[in-house]
Amino acid sequence: LAIISKMAEPFQISDAPATIDNTDKALLYALDCNSRRSNSEIAKEIRVKKNLVSYRIKKLIDAEIILGFYSVVDTPSLGFEGYRVYLRWQYISPEKEKEIMNFFVTAKSTWWVGSIEGEWDAGVLLWVKNAYKFREFWLELMEKYQKYIMKYLVCVYTKVYDFNYAF
> pTM above 0.75?
no
Looking at residue 42, its pLDDT comes to 96
Annotate 59-71 with b (16+ C-beta within 10 A) or e (fewer).
ebeeeebbeeeee
Query: For 120-135, what is each residue's pLDDT tens digit?
Result: 999 999 999 999 999 9
Q: What's the full length of the chain, in residues? A: 167
Q: How many CB atoms lie within 10 A of CB 28?
A: 24
Please identify every stretch of the chain with a pLDDT value under 50, giving residue numbers as ranges: 1, 7-14
Cα-based torsion angle of the residue sequence 121, 146, 83, 103 in order, rounded to the nearest 10 degrees: 80
Looking at residue 9, its pLDDT comes to 46
